[in-house]
A and B are shown apart, each in its own frame.
Chain A
């Protein structure tokens, strides 16, 4: 007799536990307000990434097309993957002495692991994170970027950008 009671209680316990699970899924079925899907390409206009979002490394320029990069190469040294190449050139300054300035700050986005060491170690705070994250391209060479804009010059003094 005991085993018969056990048999039937096991059936009812089983059904009750199953019903508890079905209540959870059933609750979500009748409450479409809980849907969490983001409709990505449609919400592009409203989609704002967080301030420090690591989309890509950029070099902020001010309105006079000036940046802070001195071409010292510390970012290149610190980059663990070799995604940064610094090409400098020497141009004479006002006193006529040749001075080293940045020619091209080449950034290989395809190799970057977003470790933030270049931004962290830059002594003149010339680099920052850009929030653009749509990096899909058909040609890999397009992921190699020159961060300093053409014709840009070094901003000698003044506040941080």
Chain B
């Protein structure tokens, strides 16, 4: 079954009407090039061409110490920078058998959810903009700004805050961190209904997304589509539930699942995830215990010989970190299983036969971040 799904034989012909979407195109959100074959308004097939922003992060990591790798992982999926950091940190901590302080675990969860919210804000903004509702972009950015202000206060940077290090956090959070987080939760609870009125309930938006790019659960599993995009097809793949890390096993939260598998259900999953993130934040923010912000670590981390794997749930899906160590202070090989790479290649299956405008809607609902694909 799954082999049939993956087998997408594309036969190019000379008369094909090829339109290159990208590498500079408003709806690819980065330097992704889609070679789209059109028949009138309809998409015959499309071939994604990647590699325009390949920086060799995996190879560079082989000459960096485990502490130095952190700042490179920031730059893969820059919207889930914190989760990327956390994946490497957890892998190293588990390999060394270090138990990080409770405080660190809780703060990491808060940061996870704040990052997820900021990422979903940006996705919502850009998705609206892809569909032509330009105002959503500014509303989303306005609310994202509040999250970034919290980040800036605590970590000094807004987007790429290399705040995790193996063993804990770089430094302690700002004293106002919890207070401002709660303020943001209260603020955003008021703004979320506006998102609903502006886009979720809009009839034009329904027409543009309902029944568009239907991805059945088998397709999602076969292509390894994870994260909100996979959960929109009913694929229960939330790593926070499947393989809890940090204190996710102690927190009550729902895994959002929608069965339809179209662009609208992927949209709904993200919208409800935002709400769920607010719930988690409300629940967790008062429980942060006092204590150290880092475990005692040696100045130079050397992993024992062996292979280590850790996965976390980023805002876009499952990020896996696979480290092979030969006992030195540099990893022998490091491999990232990035969620966007898998999410991108389902695009041909979804967009084939649809219109060019549907392609934009599908692309937006998959929420791709191109530097994460190319690494």
Point out residues on A near B: beta carbons under 8 Å.
13-14, 17-18, 20-21, 23-25, 36, 49-54, 78, 80, 113-117, 120-121, 129
Contacts of A114 in B (CB 8 A): 156-157, 160, 162
Cβ A80 vs Cβ B202 within 8 A:
no
Interface residue total, chain B, C-beta cutoff 8 A: 32
List 13 A-B residue pairs with CB atoms under 8 Å apart, sorted by A's residue number: A17-B202, A17-B206, A18-B202, A21-B199, A51-B153, A51-B174, A52-B154, A52-B171, A52-B174, A80-B64, A80-B68, A80-B71, A120-B165
Cβ B156 vs Cβ A52 within 8 A:
yes
Contact of A13 among B145, B160, B203 (CB under 8 A): B203
Contacts of A17 in B (CB 8 A): 201-203, 206
Cβ A50 vs Cβ B156 within 8 A:
yes
Chain B interface mostly: helix
Contacts of B64 in A (CB 8 A): 80
Cβ A50 vs Cβ B153 within 8 A:
yes
Contacts of B157 in A (CB 8 A): 53-54, 114
Chain B 154-172 interface 0/1 with A at a Cβ cutoff of 8 Å (1 = within):
1111001010010000110
Contacts of A25 in B (CB 8 A): 135, 198
Question: In the bound complex, how far is the Cα of B156 from the Cα of A34, in angstroms?
Answer: 26
Question: In the bound complex, how far is the Cα of B311 from the Cα of A132, in angstroms?
Answer: 37
State whether the Cβ of B147 lies closer than 8 Å to any Cβ in chain A: no
Closest to A25 in B: B135
Given contacts A13-B203, A78-B67, A115-B68, contact A20 B156 (CB under 8 A): no
Cβ B197 vs Cβ A23 within 8 A:
yes
Cβ A117 vs Cβ B202 within 8 A:
no
Minimum Cβ distance to chain B for residue A119 (Å): 9
Question: In the bound complex, how far is the Cα of B17 from the Cα of A58, in angstroms?
Answer: 57
